[in-house]
Amino acid sequence: MMSRVQKGMVAGAAATVIVSLMEAINVLFLQWFAPFPLIVSNILGLGRNMPAGWAIHVAVGVLVLGPLFGILCPKLPTDTPETKGILFSVVAFVALMVVMMVVGDNGVFGTNFGTIGWLLVTNAVFGIVMGNVYARLVARDKHAPSVAGGAAAS
């Protein structure tokens, strides 16, 4: 049995993989929006260091957002795991926008409102995937026989 934090990390990893695939399609083929890893590296003062942006993107998704969702999921005020994930990820999106306003990344806020929309969509997808995977892990633990007789995490 996994703890809620561990389930959140697994769910965050799955969601990060899906969103990273979406972003890779944008970077390699579409090139419609500013790449999120580039935005991250600019915010952190790393210039146009795309590999560092990718690494930070993955680390935050798996090591920060996933575990935080695992802790907060039972307390979020919606009914389904997917809507809990969307709510969580939209709040994370708003926090990202506030950080970008404070740091002043004009590449996003200048004239490219499409990038802001893209970030909102990818955050919503992140939340849907994370909520779904987390719920499946919780359901799996509830149906698994308990060795120590402890209660399953929800």
Q: How far apart are CA 62 and CA 56, in angstroms?
A: 10
| Maximum C-alpha span of the chain | 58
pLDDT category, 75, cuts 50, 70, 90? very high
State the Cα–Cα distance between residues 14 and 16, nearest whole angstrom.
Answer: 5
Tokens of 29: 């083929």
pTM of the model: 0.83
Radius of gyration for the alpha carbons in the chain, expressed in angstroms and rounded: 17
CA distance 87 to 95: 12
pLDDT mean over 75-104: 87
Task: Label residue 110 by pLDDT band (50, 70, 90).
Answer: low
- Residue 59's pLDDT is 93
Q: What is the pLDDT of residues 87-99, one digit of tens each?
A: 999 999 898 888 7
Task: Say which amino acid occupies 56.
Answer: I
Q: Residue 19: pLDDT above 90? A: yes
**Distance between CA atoms of residues 79 and 68, nearest Å:** 18
pLDDT at 37: 82
Compute the distance between CA of residue 105 and CA of residue 42 in angstroms, rounded to an integer.
7
